Amino acid sequence: MTPSQRPRAVLTGVFFAFAFGLGLFAGAIPTLMRQTGLDTAGLGLALTLHSAAYVGAMTVGGRLLRRIEVRRLMRWVLVLHALTFVALFAAGSPLALTASLVALGLTAGTVDLAMNTDGTALEREAGRPVLIRMHAAASGAFAIGAISGSVVASQFEALACAGLAVLSIAPVVWALTRIPPRAMAVLGAPSSTDAAVSPSRAHLGLPVLLLGVVLGVCIAAEITAQMWSAQFLAQQGGPNPALAGAGAALFAGCQAIVRSLGDTLRHRFDDHRVITVSLVLAALGFAAVALADGFVSSVLGFALVGVGTACVVPCCFALVAKQAPQRAADALGVASLVAGALRLPTPLCLGFVAATWSDAVAFGGIAGLLAAGVVLVVWMHRRPAPVAAAVSAPGPSR
């Protein structure tokens, strides 16, 4: 492995360990609800507070990265992240579970911003798309974690999942100490392409805000598939309670497969087309879940959601970073704050709608939200520069 490849391998490991732990939680949700006595409405509230902490951490993280070197920050926050999993899976009451989810949101949001900031920097240094491959590792890890969490928590106890989470995080914390720190100018010197960008496109303006909305739509859909599929499938009475995590696992597995091809798709097509087609597929997936009448058809619907959401978030992160190459952390923080306006109320609204009407109505609402995202992306593409240029311009030819 060359010196330039080693940081990419380590960061890919960070993506993997980060998502594996979250997957364990997603798969273990039905067990944790029984363990703590939390009902559906309470789960919606707990996940809303988790999302609020997550969004707040990503927003503040942009300021932290001006003062703390990105890999050092990742290393220390990952240690805290591992400890929050111990508290989460040991929770014995609704209050303890909710408090642990808030703590998990703080650590996860900070790690998320840091690893994507470092990832966009590595992509620029490589001179070719590499970020989606890292997200592919995360999706694969989430799939493994979701089915593992479902099986381990139901067959043994939830606390056993904490051990798996700690064991996945410890090696990447050590690996981060073995690579050199990054310069505080997070993305390095601007390229010749960046030098030609006009000031109106370089400031954190409308393109970043609109991309933040698209991010919010997609992340709201991902949270729904990740955190609500297990309890939905458990209610449907599948062939085995241990398979309740199959929806989240297949969702993330399909994400991983598509993301493994995502950088090739970005190279061949512009990001606008990739995002548009992806959102359409995700909307169709949730519509299929809303109309499903059985376990298998529901799982296949979640799989289509995974295909559709695979490339949206990494494409948006890359586009946001391009808006202000020398202020990538700030730009990602602003976009994440905008995304939070949609992401934050999603679990609470889902819990309310599911309790008042049905899960099918809740999933249908997510399909409608994704359809609105398609309309927004098309509108952005048709606007005059600089917004259209920011969204639809392909990367430099290679």
Which residues, other chains included, contact 107 with Cβ-Cβ below 8 Å and sequence gap of 6+?
57, 77, 78, 80, 81, 84
Q: Predicted confidence band at 100 (pLDDT cuts at 50, 70, 90)?
A: very high
299 in Cβ contact with 150 (< 8 Å): no
- Could you give the CA distance from residue 334 to residue 385 in angstroms, rounded to a whole number? 21
- Is the pLDDT higher at 203 or at 213? 213
With vertex at residue 233, the alpha carbon angle to CA 298 and CA 276, rounded to the nearest 5 degrees, is: 40
Spacing of C-alpha 286 from chain mean position: 17
Say which CATH superfamily domain 5-392 falls into: MFS general substrate transporter like domains (1.20.1250.20)
Output Rg (C-alpha) for the chain, integer angstroms. 20
| Alpha-carbon separation of residue 33 from 87, 88, 241 (angstroms) | 15, 12, 14
pLDDT (0 to 100) of residue 11: 94
pLDDT in tens, 328-371: 777 877 887 888 888 788 877 887 888 888 888 999 999 999 99
pLDDT on residue 186: 43
Question: DSSP assignment, residue 180?
Answer: P
Q: What percent of the chain clears pLDDT 90, i.e. is strictly above it?
A: 39
- Specify the pLDDT at position 241: 61
Using pLDDT thresholds of 50, 70 and 90, give the confidence band for residue 387.
Answer: very low
pLDDT in tens, 158-184: 999 999 999 999 999 999 999 988 765
Measured at the alpha carbon of residue 120, what is the angle toward residues 282 and 265, in degrees to the nearest 5? 45
Pair 333, 61: CB distance under 8 Å: yes
User: Nearest CA to 217 among 337, 338, 339?
Assistant: 339
Question: If we measure between CA atoms, which residue out of 312, 306, 167, 166 comes closest to residue 249?
Answer: 306
Domain boundaries, the chain: 5-392
Contact 123/135 with Cβ under 8 angstroms?
Answer: no
How far apart, in Å, are the Cα atoms of 193 and each of 9, 265, 314, 373? 27, 21, 21, 29
Q: Mind giving me the DSSP string for 281-345? A: HHHHHHHHHHH--SHHHHHHHHHHHHHHHTTHHHHHHHHHHHHSGGGHHHHHHHHHHHHHHHHTT
**CA–CA distance, 153 with 124 (Å, rounded to integer):** 41
344 token code pair: 């934050």
End-to-end, the C-alpha distance of the chain in Å comes to: 23
pLDDT digits (tens, 9 = 90+) for 223-257: 888 877 877 877 766 556 667 677 778 888 898 89
Examine the pLDDT at 299 and tell me if it is beyond 50: yes
Q: Look up residue 278 and give its two tokens.
A: 């992806």
Cβ atoms 143, 22 nearer than 8 A: no
Percent of the chain whose predicted confidence (pLDDT) is above 70: 86
The pLDDT confidence band at residue 145, using thresholds 50, 70 and 90, is: very high
pTM above threshold 0.75: no
Of the candidates 17, 310, 51, 318, which has an alpha carbon nearest to the alpha carbon of residue 138? 17
For the ranges 149-153, 322-326, 384-388, the one whose mean pLDDT is highest: 149-153
In a 13 Å sphere around the CA of 50, the CA atoms on its Cβ side amount to: 25
Mean pLDDT, the chain, rounded, equals 83
pLDDT of residue 144: 92
Question: What is the structure's pLDDT at 388?
Answer: 37
CA distance 280 to 214: 13
Q: CA 235, CA 39: separation in Å to the nearest integer?
A: 13
Q: One-letter amino acid identity for 94?
A: P
Cβ-contact 182, 69 below 8 angstroms? yes
Distance, CA of 311 to CA of 105 (rounded, Å): 23
Structural contact between residues 340 and 112, judged by C-beta atoms closer than 8 angstroms: no
pLDDT band at 293 (very low <50, low <70, confident <90, very high): confident
Q: Is 69 exposed, middle or buried (0-12, 13-18, 19+ CB in 10 A)?
A: middle
- Nearest-5° angle of CA 134, CA 140, CA 141? 90
Number of neighbouring beta carbons within 10 Å of residue 37: 11
